A and B are shown apart, each in its own frame.
Chain A
């Protein structure tokens, strides 16, 4: 009887699990897990395999935890908030109340958009790690590399869940430092070291812009938490449009640097060939997601400034969206080309986000994010796939590559799918957000066409035609990458395809930002799809007819562009940097020389004074009296003149 009672109770009560109840510990765990993996790697791990396993464990655990949090938040519309105190300092007892204290809290805010972005980043990191475990065997210092991947993931997670601008900048900086160390991983090579100077300096410069933008906002409003800052943008006494414009421009440049919008993309392209492929792939993809989400969050500040600011930012993004894929067509290095194509897609997404906030009442800004989210795994997959092909063919020049379709079919398919997804990733953004008959529609359509052309071009260059690389190795030994790493680019490309498809669905956008979005007409879908297909077709036709001619032309124009850029840099160096450095160097020499002379003069005067004390007094007094009389006589009128 007791047993049946218990059974009844069990059937009635049952095991209930409310995933929302896990949020208070699952959300902070998203940060703790990668940090823990880093600390464990730092303290104990030494071998390559154990380092890779530790990093993978941390990344997979974080992914599972993120899925748990997503499950917990699935039915909730409000974001989850957790606050932990970091610093609380009283700096004044008088003056405006919002400037009397300084508080930074570790504020973790998780909503649907944050979770999806975090999942995309984690997928990219896991995929890159999985690929690197096999293909990255020749990389030096495995423990360092995989430890840095964990801290990179920690920084990415922290950036995405931060709603306090100071906290956001802190995680942004951690991610930036880890990015530099990952990209500079191959310390022993001169070429690598030279290219990674840009990877430190340029993003640091743009990060300073971001810091300045946040500082300008704080200096006016005394607040850095977005939830409390945005409502008071126009109600704080003495606010001016000019300050908001300055802050918006600074924030935009800061974000554009990490989004790698042209012309700030050189930190990505300069390291695309020399950095470890896994590092290059995951950093490019992850930063595009981080930056676009942060852009979306700070857009209300831009919108509060003025229409001209928004318009200027949209112009900049549109220009970047067109120029980057154009440059991607010039030159024959596939990884650099993919970096530029990815930059173009990110620019399209950014333009849509900004454009969305420029139209009052519109909600399609989130379509720009959906575009970048779809592109991120595809970028990672593309770079990893083409890296595998480059390694097997032992060349980074597409004019020497070929026949990958036959020799490396799996990698070629992954490359094809990722290229197609990159081309299609912006389709949803254009469909929901842009009118085809506006200048923005024309510009972004042009950009998408060029992206499609560029991404398929790389596949066609590597997959079809004869393999021309002949020097120093036997081409028949070109085989596909090891099976353990084969699947990662393929599955990431498929993941990107799923996200690209989702970005075409209204419900996906509704889920991301919690707003209702009007469904576009089927004609709009067809129109933009046609643009993408035209790009693919153009690439197919050009390369099918004359692949070698196309590659020769792109190499020649790329070399010309490279020499023009080099000439420009040389001119700036000759007329700006070198003179400034010269002046500084001379100052560094003059100052010690000058004070050395001063010292010698002081010593000489001291010696003279000492000599004077040894001189006979009376003649000296007479001499001084005569000199004084002459001087007074000359100065006083009526004595000598």
Chain B
């Protein structure tokens, strides 16, 4: 009853979104509950799947379709929200605010700004991709897709949360369905992978709780709202404590060296759809947290800790490249490669220059896609080649042309080759980094060079060269596999070629995409304001 009244009060009392000006796509769909839809629709559909009778797996396909069309619907809603998003407003948009636990000051407060919108777009894309990548699941389909939808809901909740209590809840809740998915449908070392995930992410959650409670008590202990906690002026000591805790939380999530122990086993042994979700949106939440809390709210701590953060970024990128050189398992190699985009994102956050921060936000999107692409391609390739061992695989390109091309594309995306979104992100990050963190910039560049060598060797071993006569039979990617990988690659290419969106010829009007780069700019100047120096 209480739950129903909560929903009813949410419907009646939610703050409406600001009225958008007429842009392409405006007026197609308006709702004051856009953000709640992104969270609770997957939960409702997960509940529907869970309660649907499925004798002897007769309705497995229907469940897959429910999951797919749920995500498709969310992408449609997201597309409209993206088009209606006001690029020049500095404040949160699509806000919803409902009092929830007044005794402790917790409010059901949701909203997005530019960086949040970028993360939501990524989440929407990955939602579709993860379902397509999971079409091969045959066992306990109902449970699988139910947990997948719950994962997506938790991640969306963590992105749009504007109350730290809500953020912590969703942050921690995301861990459970992911761990269950790995445990139930993973590879040979799934148990170790799942427990490692729980251990590291649990540590991160504990650190996040420490940070939140420190902020809460330092600001009077009346509210968990980010507008209160993150806009208060705190002493440098408090900021430093919060900063360190947030770095630990982020480092376990992204991950960053040396708190990366879960990544290898999780990416190598999780089912493909889960690995894609973890590699992209779930892990990018770490950098998103750093951006929101450390960079956006604790400027003194951010400046004090920036050398540490830059060092972690450089170590992560270098370590990832070197580890790939030693890898003997293809999926483990992909797991290490998936660490590289996170290092680049964090480098931009460490630089604390406006352009570097913008590059970091863009690399949340591009890095998430690139990491998902490399993990997905390698997982699919190892499935199709029936082996993960780099001693067995070899000369696959002529027999698996589609996967070969996709793997080359993923390698180019990781390295940040022009025409890819990661190129623009890398560009902006490096341009901004050399102002304040030149050593960190050089170190990450060196790590990227090592990664390039490692990728060249990996491509040579797996794709090129003469085929191994002792290897099992191989087959190229199926239509579904090609689709989900091509979606990832296509999104990277689209944003890389049209970062400001295509325009109606002869005008400045956006055609159907206002441009991710323009969208991410909303709120960015405010985030960067403490680090710009005096106007000249």
A576 to chain B, nearest CB (A): 12
Q: How far is the CA of A316 from the CA of B102 in the complex (A)?
A: 71
Note all chain B residues with C-beta closer than 8 A to A89: 358, 517-518, 521
Q: B435 contacts the other chain (Cβ, under 8 Å)?
A: yes
Q: A205 near B: Cβ within 8 Å? A: yes
Contact indicator B196/A96 (Cβ below 8 Å): no
When C-beta atoms are compared, the residue in chain B nearest to A211 turns out to be: B430
Question: Is there an interface contact between B427 and A592, defined as CB atoms closer than 8 Å?
Answer: no
In the complex, the chain A residue whose C-beta lies closest to that of B351 is A219
Given contact pairs A92-B529, A592-B196, A208 touches B500 in the complex (Cβ within 8 A):
no
User: What's the least CB distance linking B79 to chain A, in Å?
Assistant: 21
B436 to chain A: closest residue by CB: A219
19 residue pairs A–B, Cβ–Cβ below 8 Å? A86-B499, A87-B500, A92-B354, A93-B529, A95-B354, A96-B532, A96-B535, A170-B419, A171-B418, A173-B418, A177-B418, A197-B460, A201-B449, A205-B449, A212-B442, A215-B441, A584-B323, A585-B323, A599-B195
CB-defined contacts of A595 to chain B, threshold 8 Å: 196, 199-200, 261
Are the C-beta atoms of A177 and B438 separated by less than 8 Å?
Answer: no
* Interface footprint category on A: 35 or more
Question: In the bound complex, do residue A91 and residue B466 qualify as a contact, i.e. CB atoms below 8 Å apart?
Answer: no
Name which residue of chain B comes closest to A167, CB basis.
Answer: B418
B77 CB contacts on chain A under 8 angstroms: none
- Size class of the B contact interface (CB-based, 8 Å): 35 or more
Q: Is A218 an interface residue (CB 8 A)?
A: yes
The answer to whether B397 has its CB under 8 Å from any CB of chain A is yes
Cβ of A220: which chain B residues have Cβ within 8 Å of it?
435
Given A89-B518, A592-B265, A581-B192 contact (CB < 8 Å)? no
Decide if B357 is an interface residue (CB 8 Å cutoff). Answer: yes
Q: Is the CB of A188 within 8 A of B517?
A: no
Residues of B within 8 A of A190 (CB): 465-466
Q: Which residues of A contact B433 (CB under 8 A)?
A: 215, 219
Q: Say whether A551 faces chain B, with CB atoms less than 8 Å apart.
A: no
Give complex CA distance A208, B444 in Å. 10
A591 at the interface (CB under 8 A from B): yes
Q: Within the assembled complex, what's the spacing in Å between the Cα atoms of A266 and B463? A: 23
A35–B408 CA distance with the chains assembled, in angstroms: 20
As a 0/1 sequence over residues 31 to 69 of chain B, the CB contacts with chain A under 8 angstroms (1 = contact) are: 000000000000000000000000000000000000000
B199, A598: Cβ atoms under 8 Å?
A: yes
B525 touches A90 (CB 8 A): yes
What residues of A have a CB within 8 angstroms of the CB of B358 in the complex?
89, 91, 102
List A contacts of B535 (CB < 8 A): 94-97
Which chain A residues numbered 134 to 172 have a C-beta less than 8 Å away from chain B? 166, 169-171
Q: Please report which residues of chain A, range 583-604, place their CB below 8 angstroms from some CB of chain B when the two chains form the complex.
A: 584-585, 587-588, 591-592, 594-596, 598-599
Contact B326 A187 (CB under 8 A): no
In the complex, are the beta carbons of A87 and B517 less than 8 A apart? yes
Check if B258 is an interface residue, CB within 8 A of chain A: yes
Interface string of A207-242 (1 = CB under 8 A from B): 010011011101110000000000000000100000
Inter-chain contacts of B438 with A (CB < 8 A) = 216, 219
Q: A85 contacts which chain B residues (CB < 8 A)?
A: 500
Residue A580 is within 8 A (CB to CB) of chain B in the complex:
yes
Q: Which of B397, B445, B457, B524 contacts A212 (CB 8 A)?
A: B445
Instruction: Report which of B199, B445, B455, B524 forms a contact with A211, defined as CB distance below 8 A.
Output: B445
Q: Which residue of A is nearest B533, CB measured?
A: A95
Q: Are A92 and B465 in contact (CB under 8 A)?
A: no
Query: How far, in whole Å, are A594 and B428 apart by their CA atoms in the complex?
Result: 38
B78 at the interface (CB under 8 A from A): no
Q: Are B319 and A587 in contact (CB under 8 A)?
A: yes
Return A494 CB to nearest CB of chain B, in Å.
36
B500 touches A201 (CB 8 A): no
Residues of B within 8 A of A542 (CB): none
Residue of A nearest to B529 (CB): A94
Nearest-neighbor residue (CB-CB) of B520 within chain A: A89
Residues of B within 8 A of A587 (CB): 319, 323
CB-based closest 3 A-B pairs: A95-B532, A91-B354, A219-B435
* Contact, CB under 8 Å: A188 / B465: yes
**In the assembled complex, which residues on chain A have CB atoms less than 8 Å from the CB atom of B442?**
212
Note all chain A residues with C-beta closer than 8 A to B528: 91-92
Residue B494 lies at the interface, judged by CB distance under 8 Å to chain A: no
Interface residues of B in 433-460 (CB under 8 A from A): 433-435, 438, 441-442, 445-446, 448-449, 452-453, 455-457, 460
Tell me the complex Cα distance, A625–B124, Å.
59
Decide if B242 is an interface residue (CB 8 Å cutoff): no
**Interface residues in B456-499 (C-beta closer than 8 Å to A):** 456-457, 460, 463-466, 499
Spell out A's residues near B (CB within 8 Å). 85-97, 99-100, 102, 166, 169-171, 173-174, 176-177, 181, 184, 187-190, 192-194, 196-197, 200-201, 204-205, 208, 211-212, 214-216, 218-220, 237, 580-581, 584-585, 587-588, 591-592, 594-596, 598-599
Q: Are A169 and B449 in contact (CB under 8 A)?
A: no
Residues of B within 8 Å of A189, CB to CB, are 465-466
Q: Chain A interface mostly helix, strand, loop or mixed?
A: helix
Complex alpha-carbon distance, A86 and B498, angstroms: 8
A102 contacts across to B, CB distance below 8 A: 355, 358, 428, 431
**Distance in angstroms between the alpha carbons of A170 and B357 in the assembled complex:** 21
Are A219 and B434 in touch, CB under 8 angstroms?
Answer: yes
With A and B bound together, what is the CA distance between A594 and B262 in angstroms?
A: 12
Chain A hits for B418, CB < 8 A: 169-171, 173-174, 177
| B168 in the interface (beta carbon within 8 A) | no
Q: Are A208 and B434 in contact (CB under 8 A)?
A: no
In the bound complex, do residue A218 and residue B326 qualify as a contact, i.e. CB atoms below 8 Å apart? Answer: no
Known: A87-B517, A187-B464, A237-B536. Is A99-B355 also a contact (CB below 8 A)? yes
Q: Please, how many angstroms separate the alpha-carbon atoms of A466 and B10 in the complex? A: 94
- Complex: chain B residue closest to A199, CB-CB: B456
Q: How far is the CA of A599 from the CA of B435 in the complex (A)?
A: 43
What is the CA–CA distance of A581 and B318 in the complex, to the nearest angstrom?
11
Are A592 and B264 in touch, CB under 8 angstroms?
A: yes
Chain B residues numbered 390-449 whose CB sits less than 8 Å from any CB in chain A: 395, 397-398, 408, 412, 415, 417-419, 423-424, 427-428, 430-435, 438, 441-442, 445-446, 448-449
Closest to B498 in A: A86
Is there an interface contact between B427 and A169, defined as CB atoms closer than 8 Å? yes
CB pair B449–A588 under 8 Å, yes or no, is: no
On whether the beta carbons of A212 and B434 are closer than 8 Å, the reply is yes
Cβ-defined contact, A91 with B326, below 8 A = no
- Is B534 part of the binding interface, using a Cβ–Cβ cutoff of 8 Å? yes
- Complex Cα–Cα for A170 and B421 (A): 12
Q: Are B499 and A87 in contact (CB under 8 A)?
A: yes
Q: Which residues, 186 to 212 on B, are CB-close (under 8 Å) to A?
A: 192, 195-196, 199-200
Q: Which residues of A contact B524 (CB under 8 A)?
A: 90-91
CA–CA, A187 and B399, complex, Å: 12
Q: Compute how far the CA of A184 lies from the CA of B463 in the bound complex, rounded to whole angstroms.
A: 12
User: Do A86 and B532 have beta carbons less than 8 Å apart?
Assistant: no
B367 vs chain A, min Cβ distance (A): 17
Is B464 touching A192 in the complex (CB atoms < 8 A)? Answer: yes
Closest to A205 in B: B449
Closest B residue to A586 using CB positions? B326
- Interchain nearest-CB distance for A73 vs B (Å): 26
With known contacts A187-B398, A215-B433, A201–B456 Cβ distance under 8 A: yes
Q: B515 — nearest CB in chain A belongs to which residue?
A: A87
The smallest C-beta distance from B433 to any residue of chain A, in angstroms, reads 7
Q: Which residue in B192, B427, B499, B534 is a CB contact (below 8 Å) of A596?
A: B192
Minimum CB–CB distance from A356 to chain B (whole Å) comes to: 29
B262 to chain A, nearest CB (A): 8
Cα(A599)–Cα(B528), bound, Å:
41
Q: Most chain-B CB neighbours within 10 Å: which of A171, A174, A212?
A: A212
B97 at the interface (CB under 8 A from A): no
Are B500 and A219 within 8 A (Cβ)? no
In the bound complex, residues from chain A placing their C-beta under 8 Å from that of B192 are 592, 596
Which residues of A lie under 8 Å from residue B434 when comparing CB positions? 212, 215-216, 218-219
Contact A96 B323 (CB under 8 A): no
CB-CB < 8 A to B261: which residues of A?
591-592, 594-595
- The answer to whether A173 and B423 touch across the interface, beta carbons within 8 angstroms, is yes
Q: Residue-by-residue, is B342-359 near A (CB-CB < 8 Å gives 1, otherwise 0)?
A: 000000000001110110
